[in-house]
A and B are shown apart, each in its own frame.
Chain A
């Protein structure tokens, strides 16, 4: 018989599972009913019966006006949340007129330089009625401040504003590499947001601790699980060290996982994540509030699994990955568009991706039974295995002195690079089949029209920032930026100074530069 290849994460799977696969299985201790500790089966007693997951499609390109149009289309098509994709200059805290922004404006997402752009981005969208997730990390406090000032100007009370900022810098150092400041001041910015939000914006998710990018960079399922949750632990510890009560800020922490192709491994990963988090919060941090124990997460299908060859195949990949996320109890989901290995999603593929979720939700009947794989010998065994592997990594990282110390030593970066290289070797040698790429290749592939961002977007944003600098009150801006530098140099919370800078129409680049003046920039030791 031909050898059965291992999972994407190189895990060997037994063919048949029996009660002996899960010795001493204890329903109450390992699973509990849905909605009860340790939440392996989900955080809601009734799963999706009461409320479906949020269908939140990540979108952004060109100017704020371009992206606003796409948001209105998505909402009209039945999307139930918004998710902002920013371009690289915004993500890196550079204004459009900075030399490093050359060629990057509006390309990978929407360019947002100042409050004026934020106003255009959400024009005509009721901030009190829709929740918005913003994928932004180093400049997360700046974007959060902009969103809050926008709410203020639309007379929406901060106590009702709901949404998420990614604000997860550790995975940037580990995987996506969109960092600005060194790790330690970066962590301080995050605890500033925790403290400010706990006091003023109680419904805001202050962080989305993300495994998505770690997985995309090449990690295995177990590495994604382990590094993400260990990052979560690092943030909780930082909040505690900053003097916050665990139950005052942890309930607003959220998570973000990948939905990759190996179906059962993914389902087990989500279940293990909830169980580990509940136990860690109770046992390691002594959390009392039930909400601190419940891991809420968004998931996104694996962009990295999409192929440029035979792009329509990606529709099937995405649907199956989305299925795993739903069976694993995701609270919110983004489904990738089939054209994403070629370019940013065009309008039609983006709608098809949303329709895929709607079909799963309304036609398959999947949403009826909660945690349908609960009790499966195979899935429970996998859940246990993933949990054990994650805990092994926790021990290694704890022994290094925590995640910041591990990152400074390049530990997670090396582990991921190793997995990425092994995966590519498996694909090259055809130990792993990728349909349409190394097997079942076809000559005729059909052309997919792709979204192109023309340079007009860049010109508009350049003209916009030039006009802004000319027309705003320079003295007020300079004073606000000085106040920000002063806050960063001392220990006071940086959010009030950021809010004032935003109100004065300081740009993202100017606010980030003010902090660069104080903290400098991080340079990574590149490891290959």
Chain B
């Protein structure tokens, strides 16, 4: 079976990459092909990486509060490039109040502090394995 290809990206100016690196390693240990973009990637660079790497998943790590500016731009660019099938998941410090808008723009799941690595692996394999349509259940199961 083809390996799931994941681009892990740190958009914005923040350099706190502990979470991004831990998740990258967990996904790799779970048998996925992980490409880590490194720090300070613009939405344009992340979409270009996803295109070039033929990514199935983009995992964003944002702790700075810039998600409301970065995510809409990224989702627009994905649609422009015809990459709307790429599963976009977000990890970081994301207030409750921002979840509905993120879902509405197509972010498949938001993983907040305290989420286990296994939950993230299960979510991605479950979603890509089953090919189920996007729903809002992911956030409620992954919030804790």
5 interchain pairs (CB within 8 A)? A100-B12, A218-B22, A309-B113, A452-B97, A526-B36
Q: Count A-B contacts at CB 8 Å.
A: 118
B142 interface hit (Cβ, 8 Å): no
B129 interface hit (Cβ, 8 Å): no
User: A217 contacts B18, CB within 8 Å?
Assistant: yes
Contact of B25 among A107, A438, A528 (CB under 8 A): A528
Instruction: Kindly provide the distance from the CB of B10 to the nearest chain A CB, expressed in whole angstroms.
Output: 9
CA–CA, A524 and B28, complex, Å:
21
Contact of B17 among A177, A441, A523 (CB under 8 A): A177
A151-180 vs B, Cβ < 8 Å mask (1 yes, 0 no): 000000000000000000000100011110
Instruction: Kindly provide the distance from the CB of A452 to the nearest chain B CB, expressed in whole angstroms.
Output: 7
CA–CA, A178 and B40, complex, Å:
10
Q: Contacts A417-B21, A421-B22; is A104 near B64 (CB within 8 Å)?
A: yes
Contact of B65 among A438, A441, A453 (CB under 8 A): A453
Residues of A near B51 (CB, < 8 A) are none
B79 interface hit (Cβ, 8 Å): no
B33 interface hit (Cβ, 8 Å): no
User: B114 contacts A309, CB within 8 Å?
Assistant: yes
Instruction: Kindly provide the distance from the CB of A432 to the nearest chain B CB, expressed in whole angstroms.
Output: 12
Stretch of A22-30, A87-95, A228-236, A470-478 contacting B (4+ beta carbons < 8 Å): A87-95
CA–CA, A438 and B67, complex, Å:
27
Q: Contacts A103-B68, A528-B24; is A108 near B114 (CB within 8 Å)?
A: no
B80-107 vs A, Cβ < 8 Å mask (1 yes, 0 no): 0000000000000101110000000000
Look across to chain A and name the residue whose beta carbon is closest to the beta carbon of B97: A452
B24-56 vs A, Cβ < 8 Å mask (1 yes, 0 no): 111010000010111110100000000000000
Nearest 6 pairs of A and B residues by beta carbon:
A103-B69, A177-B15, A103-B66, A88-B13, A526-B38, A107-B65
Look across to chain A and name the residue whose beta carbon is closest to the beta carbon of B14: A88
User: B18 contacts A427, CB within 8 Å?
Assistant: no
Q: Contacts A452-B95, A526-B38; is A343 near B15 (CB within 8 Å)?
A: no
B127 interface hit (Cβ, 8 Å): no
Look across to chain B and name the residue whose beta carbon is closest to the beta carbon of A310: B114
Instruction: Kindly provide the distance from the CB of B30 to the nearest chain A CB, expressed in whole angstroms.
Output: 12
Task: Give 17 A-B pairs besides A107-B64, A304-B18, A437-B114 with Cβ atoms closer than 8 angstroms.
Answer: A88-B12, A88-B66, A100-B12, A100-B13, A103-B70, A177-B17, A309-B114, A344-B65, A417-B22, A425-B117, A447-B96, A524-B38, A524-B39, A526-B17, A527-B21, A528-B8, A528-B21
CA–CA, A71 and B42, complex, Å:
34
B136 interface hit (Cβ, 8 Å): no
CA–CA, A344 and B64, complex, Å:
10
User: A427 contacts B65, CB within 8 Å?
Assistant: no
Residues of A near B112 (CB, < 8 A) are 308
User: B15 contacts A172, CB within 8 Å?
Assistant: yes
Look across to chain B and name the residue whose beta carbon is closest to the beta carbon of A107: B65
Residues of B near A434 (CB, < 8 A) are 114
Residues of A near B67 (CB, < 8 A) are 103
B141 interface hit (Cβ, 8 Å): no
A405 interface hit (Cβ, 8 Å): no
B118 interface hit (Cβ, 8 Å): yes
Look across to chain A and name the residue whose beta carbon is closest to the beta carbon of B15: A177
Residues of A near B14 (CB, < 8 A) are 88, 104, 108
Residues of A near B113 (CB, < 8 A) are 307-309, 341
B125 interface hit (Cβ, 8 Å): no
CA–CA, A179 and B15, complex, Å:
9
A101 interface hit (Cβ, 8 Å): yes
Contact of A424 among B16, B22, B42 (CB under 8 A): B22
Contact of A343 among B26, B40, B95 (CB under 8 A): B95
Q: Contacts A88-B12, A307-B113, A526-B39; is A420 near B95 (CB within 8 Å)?
A: no
Instruction: Kindly provide the distance from the CB of A430 to the nearest chain B CB, expressed in whole angstroms.
Output: 10
Look across to chain B and name the residue whose beta carbon is closest to the beta carbon of A523: B38
CA–CA, A100 and B144, complex, Å:
31
Instruction: Kindly provide the distance from the CB of B68 to the nearest chain A CB, expressed in whole angstroms.
Output: 7
A492 interface hit (Cβ, 8 Å): no
Residues of A near B26 (CB, < 8 A) are 421, 424
Residues of A near B36 (CB, < 8 A) are 526, 528
Q: Could you list which residues of chain B lie within 8 angstroms of chain A, going by C-beta atoms?
A: 8, 12-18, 21-22, 24-26, 28, 34, 36-40, 42, 64-70, 73, 93, 95-97, 112-114, 116-118, 144
Q: Contacts A308-B113, A421-B25, A437-B114; is A100 near B42 (CB within 8 Å)?
A: yes
Residues of A near B68 (CB, < 8 A) are 103
Look across to chain B and name the residue whose beta carbon is closest to the beta carbon of A89: B13
A289 interface hit (Cβ, 8 Å): no
- Most chain A CB atoms below 10 A, which of B16, B95, B117: B16
Contact of A450 among B39, B95, B118, B144 (CB under 8 A): B95
A386-422 vs B, Cβ < 8 Å mask (1 yes, 0 no): 0000000000000000000000000000000100110
CA–CA, A94 and B13, complex, Å:
10
Look across to chain B and name the residue whose beta carbon is closest to the beta carbon of A101: B13
User: B28 contacts A528, CB within 8 Å?
Assistant: yes
User: A88 contacts B64, CB within 8 Å?
Assistant: yes
Instruction: Kindly provide the distance from the CB of B75 to the nearest chain A CB, expressed in whole angstroms.
Output: 14
CA–CA, A307 and B113, complex, Å:
7
Contact of B144 among A177, A178, A309, A341 (CB under 8 A): A309
Q: Contacts A177-B15, A177-B39, A528-B21; is A428 near B117 (CB within 8 Å)?
A: yes
Q: Contacts A307-B114, A417-B21, A424-B22; is A99 near B42 (CB within 8 Å)?
A: yes
Instruction: Kindly provide the distance from the CB of A421 to the nearest chain B CB, expressed in whole angstroms.
Output: 5
A96-123 vs B, Cβ < 8 Å mask (1 yes, 0 no): 0001111110011000000000000000
Residues of A near B8 (CB, < 8 A) are 528
Would you list which residues of chain A between 67 and 95 have a CB under 8 Å from chain B?
A: 88-89, 91-92, 94
User: B69 contacts A102, CB within 8 Å?
Assistant: yes
CA–CA, A524 and B66, complex, Å:
22
CA–CA, A88 and B39, complex, Å:
13
Contact of A177 among B16, B24, B73 (CB under 8 A): B16
Q: Contacts A88-B12, A524-B38; is A343 near B116 (CB within 8 Å)?
A: no
User: A104 contacts B12, CB within 8 Å?
Assistant: yes
